[in-house]
Amino acid sequence: MMEILLDPKYLFTIILLGTIVYITYLSKRNDNSSDFFVGGRVFGWFTNGSAIAGDYLSAATFLGLAGLTFSIGYDGAFYTFSFSIGLTLLALFVAGPLRRLGAYTVADFVAYRFHSKRARIIAVVVVLAISGFYAAPQLLGAASILSMFFGTSYEFGIIFTTVVMIFYVGVGGMKGTTLNQALELWIRLGAFIVMVAAAIYGGFHYQQILATISEFSGTIINTGAFTEDGKDIVFNGATWYQTGAFNPNFWHSLSMVIGLALGVIGLPHILLRFYTNPNAKAARKSAVMSIGIASLFFGLAVYLGVVGRAIFLEGNASSEVMNNLVTGGDNMVIPSIATALGGQWLLGFVIAGAFAAIFSNLSGLFIASSGAIAHDIYAKFSKKELTEKQRVRAAKWAIVFLGVLYGILGILVKEASIGHLVALAFTVGASTFAPIFILGIWWRGITEKGAIAGLVMGLLASMFMIFFSSVLPEALQFRVPGIITVPIGFLSVIIVSKLDGKVPADVNSFMRKVHSKEDAA
Amino acid sequence: MKEQEFVMTDEPCETIDIKKLQKLDRETRYIVSSEFRTGLSLTIIYFIFIISVPVMNWYKPDWAFTKLFGGMSASWFLTSIVAMVMAFVIAYVHTRLYERWEKKVKALTPSAGNEEEKETIV
């Protein structure tokens, strides 16, 4: 028993879980819905900036981006580059005004801006769609890690992670979630920094390894033992070094940039975080802080993917590492590099980092979705006036319900691709909430009908392009279809609003509120 | 129709034809337009850089993937290093410009420090 507990992967994971329980216990007091949904709006830019980065850098980014760079080369780096744009746009156009509004949920913005219960219900549907598509791959990632490193079944992994999340978010609310997210961000960033230091110490200099990889052509030694046909893997470095492996032409690259960049503006769990700052100034500073952390993280992820490829091409790593790199898929690249560079201790740290990424991201999704159910639906459409305690209780029940729902989704997507599902969430966000938030904050001419049309058309277009695009000509089939769905979302809002022309009579007052000079005080 | 005060509620509010909508007051118009101009100009600079990367990759691949130092090509350098710095710099510059602008607004309009107004916003 003691031997198992001292195994680094168990040790680090137990320490992480223990810390989560402790922080959650300390922040269990949530007297009212402001405490539960927006943490009492007390978090300064450092804590909230860390939490935003923690929310944004999910398992798909912690494990996936380095894995993509490892397997598809430059296009993996380009994928990462596209992810890095969105938070900056959010800081420029949305963060400050959103905080000045001072609402509780993403759907609040839509409902208050247009004074529309219909718009609120549709916004809730979109929130649940985005959160579901985002949560399912996180659970898939968690269950896969548990299965790979702890030998548990896939179903156990889903149930375990869901139970941890129900406790974590249900007891801690936004306060506990924010503190845990901030801590978890530094755990996974710490894991990356230690890995990078070990790689540089091991002589993996960026330019040198890129040169070696780009000039490599032929078979990779010591890989035949792990392939199905028993032959060493053939690799062409020149192809890996250039674009084209993932995006077949310029328009695919552009579509990826549009979909992933604007997708961030439509992610409910990220938008929600800006409500937790005490004022708009802190919201903007939080955004800058999170962008700094995310940019560093993305840069390190690409470098580690290149290091992984260099280690693989050398063919001198242990058979466990070579086997994982051949058969483990993209998500095994970071754990494999950790084992190659620092042995079991670094692997243990990285596994804790991966769990931190999953917990952090999932908790944000749970909070955003529980707000959508308890605050936007139950509290708003309940016939009786609810007390603060009843609102908090409703949110806790919503979290249990979401745990069951996400758990079922997690089991259903067992065979799905994590990257594909995350791209779907980004596409829906970019085509629905991004137009509503950008135009709603900056254009007085947007009407209720325009907003509803934008949400509905954006959602339908995204679903069609992801699930049924095979019926379209090949030139219109995009892996990240932002180039088609985002203009549909924006144009639907603009055209229907222009045709309708009936704006809320308080729109000037709304503009004064969200663009006030409050920060100048 | 008279302009209404914004209240955070779902309850239906009267609507007004956009053509009959009063202009925003001068101060708010100035705040909105200067805030938007700052964001837009930084976005244009940022997106010229962002779009130039795929344009270069697909239409000038010889430039994009020629090795500059060691194995680092222009495209690898821009995509994996410069872009990350750029994302932060644009957001940081925006915040600094905003803070400078706030000071200017405060100097121009004494009501900027009005505590009562602040209370209604927070």
Please give the average per-residue pLDDT across A297-322, as a whole number. 94
Is A95 inside any structural domain? yes
- Two structure tokens written together for A455: 């949400």
β-bridge partners, B16: A503
- Two structure tokens written together for A350: 């990285």
pLDDT recorded at residue B115: 44
Residue B116 has pLDDT above 50, yes or no: no
Q: Is B93 on the interface with A (CB under 8 A)?
A: no
Is A452 inside any structural domain? no
Residue B114 has pLDDT above 60, yes or no: no
pLDDT recorded at residue B91: 93
Using an 8 Å Cβ cutoff, are A81 and B83 in contact? yes
**Min CA distance, A252 vs chain B (Å)?**
10
Residue A190 CA, chain-centre distance (Å), reads 19
Is A271 inside any structural domain? yes
pLDDT recorded at residue B2: 67
Q: How far apart are CA A382 and CA A397, in angstroms?
A: 15
Is A325 inside any structural domain? yes
Lowest mean pLDDT: which of A40-44, A57-61, A327-331, A443-447? Answer: A40-44
CB pairs under 8 A between A and B: 244
Is A449 inside any structural domain? no
**Of residues A390 and A123, more confidently modeled:** A123
Q: Which residue carries 């680090």 as its tokens?
A: A12
Q: Distances from the Cα of A481 to the Cαs of A78, A428, A465, A466, A475, in angstroms? A: 16, 10, 6, 8, 11
Q: Which residues of B touch A482 (CB under 8 A)?
A: none
Residue A314 has pLDDT above 50, yes or no: yes
**Min CA distance, A489 vs chain B (Å)?**
20
> Looking at the partner chain, which of A87, A508, A518 has a beta carbon nearest the beta carbon of B118?
A518
pLDDT recorded at residue A520: 40
Residue B122 has pLDDT above 50, yes or no: no
pLDDT recorded at residue A39: 75
Chain A contact probe: residue of B13, B41, B89 with most A CBs at under 10 A: B13
Is A129 inside any structural domain? yes
**Residues constituting chain A:** 521
A117/B114 Cβ within 8 A:
no
**pLDDT-based confidence at B112, cuts 50/70/90?**
very low
> Looking at the partner chain, which of B22, B36, B57 has a beta carbon nearest the beta carbon of A442?
B36
Residue B69 CA, chain-centre distance (Å), reads 35
**Global pTM value:** 0.89
In terms of average pLDDT, the best of A1-10, A44-53, A108-117, A450-459 is A450-459
Q: How far apart are CA A30 and CA A7, in angstroms?
A: 37
Is A425 inside any structural domain? no
Find the residue in B nearest to A296 (Cα): B84
Q: Secondary structure of chain B: what % helix, strand, coil (to 5)? A: 70, 5, 20
pLDDT recorded at residue B111: 53
**Min CA distance, A280 vs chain B (Å)?**
9
A296/B7 Cβ within 8 A:
no
pLDDT recorded at residue B120: 39
Q: Is B95 on the interface with A (CB under 8 A)?
A: yes
Q: How far apart are CA A295 and CA A292, in angstroms?
A: 5
**Residues constituting chain B:** 122
Q: Is B71 on the interface with A (CB under 8 A)?
A: yes
> Looking at the partner chain, which of A41, A284, A511 has a beta carbon nearest the beta carbon of B28?
A511
Contacts for A6 with CB less than 8 Å, ≥ 6 apart: none
Residue B119 has pLDDT above 70, yes or no: no
Q: Is the ipTM of this complex over 0.90?
A: no
* Closest alpha carbon to A485 in A432, A421, A445: A432
Q: Is B44 on the interface with A (CB under 8 A)?
A: no
Contacts for A72 with CB less than 8 Å, ≥ 6 apart: A240, A245, A246
Q: Which domain holds residue A311?
A: 37-228+235-415
pLDDT recorded at residue A22: 77
Q: How far apart are CA A421 and CA B28, in angstroms?
A: 42
Q: Is B63 on the interface with A (CB under 8 A)?
A: no
pLDDT recorded at residue B99: 84
Q: What is the pLDDT of residues A400-415, one digit of tens each?
A: 999 999 999 999 988 7
Q: Is B108 on the interface with A (CB under 8 A)?
A: no
Q: What is the pLDDT of residues A498-511, one digit of tens each?
A: 999 999 999 999 99
Is A434 inside any structural domain? no
> Looking at the partner chain, which of A257, A284, A448 has a beta carbon nearest the beta carbon of B54?
A257
Q: How far apart are CA A119 and CA A104, in angstroms?
A: 16
In one letter, which amino acid is A339? T
B106/A509 Cβ within 8 A:
no
> Looking at the partner chain, which of B4, B11, B105 has a beta carbon nearest the beta carbon of A509?
B4
State the total domains in chain A: 1
Lowest mean pLDDT: which of A26-35, A44-53, A99-108, A314-323? Answer: A26-35
Please give the average per-residue pLDDT across B24-46, as a whole number. 91
pLDDT mean across residues, chain A: 89
Q: What is the pLDDT of residues A352-389, one digit of tens each?
A: 888 888 888 888 888 889 888 888 888 888 767 778 88
**Min CA distance, B65 vs chain A (Å)?**
7
Q: Is A41 left (phi over 0), alpha (psi -120 to 50) or beta?
A: left
pLDDT recorded at residue A304: 96
- For residue A167, give the CATH number of its domain: 1.20.1730.10
Q: Is B90 on the interface with A (CB under 8 A)?
A: yes
- Two structure tokens written together for A504: 């809320």
Lowest mean pLDDT: which of A158-162, A208-212, A281-285? Answer: A281-285
